[in-house]
Amino acid sequence: MNILDQIIASKHEEVARRKREMPVAELERSPFFESAVRSMCQSLLEKAPTAIIAEFKRRSPSKGDIFNAAEVIPVVKSYEQAGCAGISILTDEKYFGGSLDDLITARPHVNVPLLRKDFMIDTYQIIEARSAGADLILLIAEVLTKEQVYTLASFAKSLDLEVLLEMHSGLQIPKINEHIDIVGINNRDLKTFAVDVDASIRLLDQLPGEYLRISESGLSASTTVH
């Protein structure tokens, strides 16, 4: 079992536990649940050609500890002040040191769109995202069937959330559907964590032109971005 399989197995257990602890009806009472959604698509287009989605992440399986003591408010405020188009907030606790509370805490302090970045496998997590103030969710094509992508994406749209579908291989292109807003090319292979920035270049022209397309991971210098 590779690390991605381990994460997904753990995520199924986590979601089952969270469902027991927090009923949907209670999530729907959040003040964020009916709030206006900020469009990541619009923000990216306004910031083009070098629009950046900054990320709040304390640790990862590939990098280990990054900054475990990081506090979300000063970090996200500095990202917005630097001109980012949006902010991705890791909410997985076991492997990335995040939590849904980070998203809830960040929301009142910035005006840019917020992405709930997690391993989404259940519509319950999408309700959580909406109740925590997210503007869009991430779906990872590598861990979802075509049918699951459709179900989760269409459900997200019913809650007015935008959807970012992440892929690493051209084999995952058929999982794109009409409910997807942004297609992300992950330069990191989630099974091995190997990074190949050229993956974005190879896949770009294979993606349908009507979708907004972004490059993810391994972008550690301005020269790489440009």
> Could you say which of 14, 128, 162, 216 is catalytic?
216
Reduced to 3 states, what is the DSSP secondary structure of residue 134?
Answer: coil
Query: 186 catalytic, yes or no?
Result: yes
**In the annotation, is 217 catalytic?**
yes
Catalytic residue among 55, 128, 142, 162: 55
Single out the catalytic residue among 43, 88, 117, 162: 117
Among candidate residues 11, 14, 43, 57, the one labeled active-site is: 57
Which of 166, 175, 200, 215 does the annotation list as catalytic? Answer: 166
Query: Quick check: is 57 catalytic?
Result: yes
* Rounded-to-integer distance, Cα 103 and Cα 132, Å: 6
Q: How far is CA 164 from CA 46, 77, 118, 187, in A?
A: 18, 23, 12, 15
Selecting among 43, 200, 215, 217, the annotated active-site residue is 217
Q: How far apart are CA 75 and CA 66, in angstroms?
A: 13
Q: Which structure tokens are listed for 103?
A: 């998203």
CA dist., res. 81 & res. 76, Å (int) = 9
Q: Is 157 a catalytic residue?
A: no
For residue 117, indicate whether it is catalytic.
yes
Say which of 88, 186, 187, 200 is annotated catalytic.
Answer: 186
Residues assigned a catalytic role: 55, 57, 117, 166, 186, 216-217
